[in-house]
Structures are given as C-alpha cells and as structure tokens.
C-alpha cells in the first residue's frame, strides 16, 4: 500500500505470473484484489468494439463504435523474485471478448460466487473451461447470505469433483490468499506436469 518510488518497481530479476479474478457484478472482485495487493490497486482503461472484442490496434481506437471498460489489477511480490499480478475481470457478458484475451498467458482463474446468486458465476466458469484454464471457485461470504454444505454448493455449481471449492472473505487478506494457495495447488496437480 506504499507509494514510495522504491516500492514502485519489481525486482530486476523477477518473473511474473498472472491470475484472474472473475465473477458477476458486485461479487467482491475489486475488494479481493485490494485485500491481496501490495500496491494500491491500479486501473487500466481498455477499449472494445460494441461487439465486445478488445481493440489492440491504434487505427481502430479512433472509431466511434468503441466503448471503454476499466480493469483493476494488483500485485503481490513473492519470495524467489516471483511477481504475481491479479486482474479483476469484468463479469458482464458483453465484456466476454476482453476477458478471453485477458485469459491468454494466465496461470488460472479464481471465480468468486455469492450463495444468493450462484448461477451468476456460470458465465465465468464457462469462459475458463472454454479456455481450458485451471480454476477454483471461491464463495465470498456475505453477511446474511445463506450458508450451504460443500456437496450442495458443488451440486448447484455443477462442479467437477476435481475442481476446488473454498469459502473466503474477500475483505480479509489471509483468507483471500488461501484462495490463491488452493488454486496454485490445483494447478500443480495437473496430470501432465512431470513430477520431479
């Protein structure tokens, strides 16, 4: 959360990894990124065509048929010169094209869900499965939201037995980091990664 110049940069020998935080409107994506990030979360502005495709060409940028979307991200420097970037991806279906492009080069995704509207997380789950990215579903526990057992939640979300499901509080750092621990453990369990 410091903004001193010396804290602005990452270690010179750093390697980066990218993880996406997905889920519907107001499920806690920005809150989550803020909890985990070591820097004040930042935003970049992206422009899309009305059809939802991300624009990565200067020529197209001048056209009037574009809309803008803000994307927030945070950073977490880990031991061993590893820098983890967390991107909060917008959940609305019209931003699908942008989310697809954001998924390129990502290690995996954390899907936030609210027990009052679990079905609204299907969009994010489908996008991750289409991209064949490993993911973990995290129930963000809101006050007053109904609590269900693991089996009920998995059933409602139609999760594969191998897909991790965790409960967390996006406002709490330790709890939020646990979601990442679960996700990376899951990625490490991939069958095609050679054991050492």
Ligand X SMILES: Nc1nc2c(ncn2[C@@H]2O[C@H](COP(=O)(O)OP(=O)(O)OP(=O)(O)O)[C@@H](O)[C@H]2O)c(=O)[nH]1
C-alpha to C-alpha distance for 83 and 108, rounded to whole angstroms: 15
Figure out which of the listed residues 53, 54, 166, 167 binds another protein, where binding follows CB under 8 A.
54
Which residues are within 8 A (CB) of 184 and not within 5 positions of it... i.e. 6 or more apart?
Answer: 107, 108
CA distances from 144 to 43, 115, 147 (A): 31, 10, 9
The residue among 74 and 88 lying less far from ligand X, judged by its C-beta, is 88
66 part of the interface to Mg ion, by CB under 5 A: no
5 part of the interface to another protein, by CB under 8 A: yes
Residues lying near ligand X in the complex (CB under 6 A) are found at 25-31, 88, 91, 140-143, 169-171
190 part of the interface to another protein, by CB under 8 A: yes
C-alpha to C-alpha distance for 57 and 191, rounded to whole angstroms: 38
Figure out which of the listed residues 27, 33, 46, 110 binds another protein, where binding follows CB under 8 A.
46
193 secondary structure, DSSP code = S
- Closest approach, Cβ 143 to another protein, in A, equals 25
């Amino acid at each position: 959360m410091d903004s001193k110049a010396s804290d602005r940069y990452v270690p010179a020998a750093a390697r980066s990894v990218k993880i996406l935080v997905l889920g519907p409107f107001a499920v806690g994506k920005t809150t989550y990124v803020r909890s985990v990030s070591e820097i004040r979360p930042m935003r970049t502005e992206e422009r899309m065509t009305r059809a939802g495709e991300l624009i990565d060409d200067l020529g197209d940028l001048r056209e009037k048929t574009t809309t803008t979307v803000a994307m927030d991200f945070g950073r977490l420097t880990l031991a061993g010169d590893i820098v983890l970037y967390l991107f909060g991806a917008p959940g609305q279906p019209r931003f699908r094209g942008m989310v697809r492009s954001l998924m390129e080069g990502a290690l995996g995704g954390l899907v936030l869900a609210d027990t009052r509207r679990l079905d609204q997380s299907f969009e994010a789950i489908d996008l991750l499965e289409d991209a064949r990215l490993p993911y973990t579903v995290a129930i963000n526990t809101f006050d007053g939201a109904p609590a269900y057992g693991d089996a009920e939640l998995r059933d409602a979300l139609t999760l594969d037995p191998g897909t991790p499901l965790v409960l967390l509080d996006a406002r709490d750092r330790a709890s939020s980091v646990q979601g990442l621990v679960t996700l990376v453990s899951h990625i490490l369990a991939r069958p095609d990664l050679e054991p050492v």
